[in-house]
Structure 1
Amino acid sequence: MVKKITSLGLAISFLLLSSCASIVSKSNYPISINSSPSEAKILITNKKGVEVYSGNTPATLELKSGSGFFGKAQYQVKFTKDGYESKTVPVYFKLDGWYFGNILLGGLIGMLIIDPATGAMYKLDTEFLNETLSRSTVNIEKDGFKVYSINEIPTEWNKHLVTIE
């Protein structure tokens, strides 16, 4: 009889002290980042501007879903490569549907403390970034701008040329 009461007590404690999103979801999510052309440098910063990752494409890493109590994470991924325009792409997190499972399973502790503190109430909105970088129209060298003659211009730039009279 005592064993049944202890088991029942443990089960009730588990339900009261657990949180649904923390059980079903996670606080860190993998993201794959690629670019065309490959080997672009990527710099990832959080919403406070703090660098959280630096490397080259292709890359796979994990990002935290929370940024403080009830705070949803948000990141900026900046792509750079010599000869190409830099590009910055946001990475968003959204409310995880399992968070509302706390109403049935996790209780108030899960809904108001555990999931908001761990970030498990949010999930990654985009799991894969694949960005195409555009060729730079200006060649910036150490000494400044480079002036091209008409014969030096790459053929893919010809469609952007405008006649000046």
Structure 2
Amino acid sequence: MFKKIALGASIAALTLASGCASILSDSKYPVTIASTPSGANFSVVNEAGLDVHSGVTPDTITLDASDGFFSSATYTVNYQMAGYNEQSFQLKAGMDGWYIGNILLGGLIGMLIVDPATGAMWKLPATAHVSLQSQTASTSVDGLTIASIDQIPEELQSQLIPVE
């Protein structure tokens, strides 16, 4: 009888000591870095400004969803490609749905300690994709007016410079 009670108490303690998200989820996620057109150089920078990964699109990399206890990770993906404007994409971890499962399975220990400490309470999006905009030479004619000499007032004609 004592062994059954001890076994039951052990199982209950293990269930309460674990977090729901840390059991059913992960703290690192594969993220596909993509661009249209493909072949762009990219670099992934964390909140501290450190370059954590770089490569050429498309590529799949693994990133931490947590940036510390109760802190989600945020990354900036910078894209560069010859003939296209540089672009950035903000990649921010959101709350993992399994974290709410602590109400049923993990209890307060899972919700307040285990999942925040392991980072399993956060989840990153699966894709960071941008459509690169091609660079175009801009020719602004806002300040240019073509006029014949008789359309210019006489007081301004003395300021004209002949073009040879």
TM-score under structure 2 length normalisation: 0.79
Larger radius of gyration: 2
- Name the aligned partner's letter for residue 134 of structure 2: R
Equivalence for 2:132: 133
Deviations 1:66-120 (A, max 9, x none): 0011111111000001221100010111112221221221122211111111111
Q: Does 1:32 align with 2:20?
A: no
- Supply the AA of the counterpart residue of 1:117: A
- Alpha-carbon distance in structure 1 between the residues aligned to 2:30 and 2:2: 45
SS in 2 for 1:7: helix
Partner of 1:72: 72
Match of 1:61 in 2: 61
**Structure 1 unmatched ranges of 5 or more:** 139-159
Compute the displacement of 1:34 (Å). Answer: 1.2
Question: What is the distance in 2 between the residues matched to 1:54 and 1:39?
Answer: 13
> What is the correspondence of 1:78-157 to structure 2 with a 5 Å cutoff?
78-124=78-124, 126-137=125-136
Per-residue deviation, residues 103-142 of structure 1 (Å, max 9, x unmatched): 2211222111111111111112x3122211112235xxxx
Number of residue pairs matched?
A: 143
**Aligned equivalents of 1:45, 1:87: Cα separation in 2:** 13
Residue of structure 2 equivalent to 1:8:
8
Counterpart secondary structure, 1:72: coil
Cross-structure match for 1:141: none
CA RMSD of aligned residues (A): 1.7
Return the alpha-carbon distance in structure 1 between the equivalents of residues 111 and 87 of structure 2: 38
Letter in 2 for 1:22: S
Structure 2 residue aligned with 1:149: none
